[in-house]
Structure 1
Amino acid sequence: MSDEVKRGLEGVVVSESRLSYIDGDAGELGYRGYAIEDFAREASFEEVLSLLWNGEWPTPDEHDEFAARLAAERDLDTAVYDLIEELAAQDENPMAMMRTVTSALSAYDEDVDADPDDREANLAKGCRITAKLPTALAAFDRLRRGDGPVAPREDLGHAENFLYMLNGELPDDVAAEAFDTALVLHADHGLNASTFSAMVTTSTLSDLHSGVTSAIGTLAGGLHGGANQNVMRMLKEIDESERGPDEWIEEAVAEGRRIPGFGHRVYNVRDPRAAILASYSEQLGETSGERKWYDYSVAIEEHMAEETKFAPNVDFYSASMYYQMGIPMDIYTPIFSLSRVGGWIAHMLEQYEDNRLIRPRARYVGERGREFVPLDER
């Protein structure tokens, strides 16, 4: 057994998975063997959930049944709404709210006491968690703004329903399609930090609610889920300055500032998801008649390509997309969790299938042989 330390477990292979494939040098990402470019604009988030959880694309009948099942689980127990209202009144951090509510949902889940290896019970729990988190987030945002929650509608798709609950009105077709595609593209991405967190929890034979709660806590960290929020802050700073994006970026790079939305732990080239989201950012700008957020983003990308080795990641264009949909910046990371929960659950289901407790070692580098002194002699 090697004693070589791999900080951050970089490059260490700890499991095998059939879920998502990433080639960081070629800029490739696929789910279950399908390249994202082939389905991201065509397949709904509900279809992608079916693919990740069951291994195959659903037939039309299977899709209708699954989508209806998901839609029927959207509403929350009155006590959960009360909890969200209290958290909103306390001005809780949105990701902390998501973590707390996810944990609380287990108290109202009929399969909460099912065996960890009961796949059907886990699928049912996964469906409920995935369906209810958007309702919780939309209710929280409205309550903290002084508005009442908007009840979910079962006749709307997953993405469209969230935007409806958030804004109190139906989104236009471009926004609904763009948001659905964003959910698809964020659904899974290999063994990232939050997914690994969920798998570690699951490996102890803990339950799905605990695993998702662990994952949300991990995603909340600034090194994982918050980049798109920082991208939008940067775009607004550029807009409020007297400089154009080229001059602003040139000065920022010269000052050693980190440019959010660029670089990735896995990709050495442009994130394949960025190109797809860029097209939707442009479409949203065209629809609203205000292209500046997209234009700023393009100018920044072009400057970075000329002056640095860094390429945009998935967060770079999702920022301007969400902003143009009227989504508050501080819920961008919670929105990430609304999508990635599908991947977390898929990985936990896979972990349950062939489980082994995840228990790495740490190399001890402290002192040894120290002499103990009783309390009354110190």
Structure 2
Amino acid sequence: MAQKELVPGLAGVPAAESAISYIDGAAGILQYRGYRIEELAVESTFEETAWLLMEGELPTAAQLESFRKELGQHRELPSPLVSMLHDMPKDAHPMAVLQAAVAALGACEPRVPFGDEAAFRGAWLRLLSAVPSIVATHERFRRGQDPISPDPTLSTAGNFLLQLTGDRPSKIAERILDCALVLHADHTMNASTFAARVVYGTQADPYASICGGVGALSGPLHGGANERVLASLQSIGSVEAVDAWAQDQFANKGKIMGFGHRVYSVKDPRSHALQSLAVKLFDELGSTPIYDVALKLEQVVVDRLGDKGIHPNVDFFSGIVYSKLGIPTDQFTPIFAIARTAGWMAHLHEQMQDNKLYRPGQVYVGVAERPYVPIGERG
């Protein structure tokens, strides 16, 4: 029998039809349900975006008000989950805690039968509301602080910052985090979305499926990249040191985190938007030397590799923005998960409409058929 052609990483192989988001990597275009991401980041909110991804249209004013109220009512965590977060090791990575907590949340919630639209909507509201509370509550506990009760009147971004810091956020901090959540909410069939859809395709419940997405997102080649970007920029130290650091990376074929993308051959449109957010944030709260280091590194890398399609991706500026907001570096990826839960749930709902179990083939490269050797005859 002829072997099938191997496509490493399933690069470019369609795994599903989807109406949720669209990318033109050569032109640097990302759209949610037909809307350009740059426009949504400026004009919309995370709540509007989450509704759009799930429902297919932007909400009316009445729909948005009702949706925000529902989200506000679902933020309180069950007491067994709060106890679990309190008892987690203080040195555990927040993504490991988040994955365990989402599974625990599912154990505390009503069962979600596959295909039950009402039950699925309940899980959608619960996850969109509870994931930010999980991240903030865990961060409070590991600092040795008491958790902060959620405020149902605040936006998702505003309430998260309140629960994280204990203080009501400034308008600029709330708005910038809100924009960042919009920018990270979906990105077609990326690794974590594919993982979530594969799990849901088995007719597992949404909580187990989101755990799959969180697990995939935790990897440094996916959501974990923004942590490594900030670490690199901090290690460079100053604008004057950028050239020597970059040349050393080029000479040793080292990976410069925050550059290049599997689908974009130009600058990631989300990176443009995040850079604009960073400028606004620094105008309000004061600049930071690490931003100047980032700008210089972008110039050096693009001058050297831009003609090969290597440009900044979404991770390059996100860590700088989150750091300025006072968010710990290892909480960057959980914030990514807060945003991406909106996209994951929209994809699960789409998967539910015409579900097919994912069962890819493989190219076998092992030993050919051979006779069994009894243990006494093995040399």
TM-score by length of 1: 0.95
CA distance in 1, matches of 2:169, 2:135: 17
Mapping for residues 142-153 of structure 1, pairs under 5 Å = 142-153=140-151
The code of the aligned residue for 1:149 comes to: P
Q: Which residue of structure 2 aligns with residue 163 of structure 1? A: 161
Mapping for residues 121-160 of structure 1, pairs under 5 Å = 121-160=119-158
Mapping for residues 285-364 of structure 1, pairs under 5 Å = 285-309=282-306, 310-364=310-364
* Unaligned stretches of 5+ residues in structure 1: none
Q: Deviation digits for residues 300-341 of structure 1, max 9, x if unmatched?
A: 111112121221001101110000000000111111111101
Q: Which residue of structure 1 aligns with residue 201 of structure 2? A: 203
Q: Which of 242, 250, 253 is matched with 2:250 structurally?
A: 253
Q: Which residue of structure 2 aligns with residue 179 of structure 1? A: 177
CA distance in 2, matches of 1:369, 1:342: 47
Q: Which residue of structure 2 aligns with residue 267 of structure 1? A: 264
CA RMSD of aligned residues (A): 1.5
Conserved 8 A contact 2:40-2:182: no
Match status 1:63 vs 2:58: no
- Percent identity, please: 40
CA distance in 1, matches of 2:325, 2:150: 18
Conserved 8 A contact 1:285-1:292: no
Q: Which residue of structure 2 aligns with residue 43 of structure 1? A: 44
The code of the aligned residue for 1:272 comes to: P
The code of the aligned residue for 1:278 comes to: Q
Q: Which residue of structure 1 aligns with residue 55 of structure 2? A: 54
Q: Which residue of structure 2 aligns with residue 16 of structure 1? A: 17
Conserved 8 A contact 2:239-2:292: no
Q: Which residue of structure 2 aligns with residue 95 of structure 1? A: 95
CA distance in 2, matches of 1:245, 1:280: 23
Conserved 8 A contact 1:94-1:331: yes
Q: Deviation digits for residues 182-234 of structure 1, max 9, x if unmatched?
A: 10010000000110011111111111011001111111111111111111111
Q: Which residue of structure 2 aligns with residue 284 of structure 1? A: 281
CA distance in 2, matches of 1:5, 1:140: 42
SS at match of 2:88: helix
Conserved 8 A contact 1:175-1:284: yes
Deviation, 1:245, is 2.8
Q: Deviation digits for residues 335-372 of structure 1, max 9, x if unmatched?
A: 11111011111001000001111111112222222111
Q: Deviation digits for residues 11-47 of structure 1, max 9, x if unmatched?
A: 1112110000000100000000111122211211010
Deviation, 1:248, is 3.0
The code of the aligned residue for 1:326 comes to: G
CA distance in 2, matches of 1:369, 1:184: 53
Distance 1:359 1:285, change over 3 A: same
CA distance in 2, matches of 1:159, 1:223: 26
Q: Which residue of structure 2 aligns with residue 219 of structure 1? A: 217
The code of the aligned residue for 1:372 comes to: Y
CA distance in 2, matches of 1:270, 1:86: 42
Conserved 8 A contact 2:53-2:343: yes
Q: Deviation digits for residues 143-172 of structure 1, max 9, x if unmatched?
A: 111111111111110001111111111221
Conserved 8 A contact 1:80-1:104: yes
Q: Deviation digits for residues 72-128 of structure 1, max 9, x if unmatched?
A: 100101111100011144x22211101100000012212x1x321012211110110
Q: Which residue of structure 1 aligns with residue 4 of structure 2? A: 3
The code of the aligned residue for 1:368 comes to: A
The code of the aligned residue for 1:359 comes to: R
CA distance in 1, matches of 2:52, 2:25: 23
Conserved 8 A contact 1:282-1:291: no
Match status 1:188 vs 2:189: no
The code of the aligned residue for 2:286 comes to: G
TM-score by length of 2: 0.95
CA distance in 2, matches of 1:336, 1:100: 17
Deviation, 1:295, is 1.8
Q: Which residue of structure 2 aligns with residue 365 of structure 1? A: 365
Conserved 8 A contact 1:71-1:153: yes
Conserved 8 A contact 1:116-1:206: yes
Deviation, 1:377, is 4.7
Mapping for residues 99-110 of structure 1, pairs under 5 Å = 99-110=99-110
The code of the aligned residue for 2:64 comes to: H
CA distance in 1, matches of 2:109, 2:356: 26
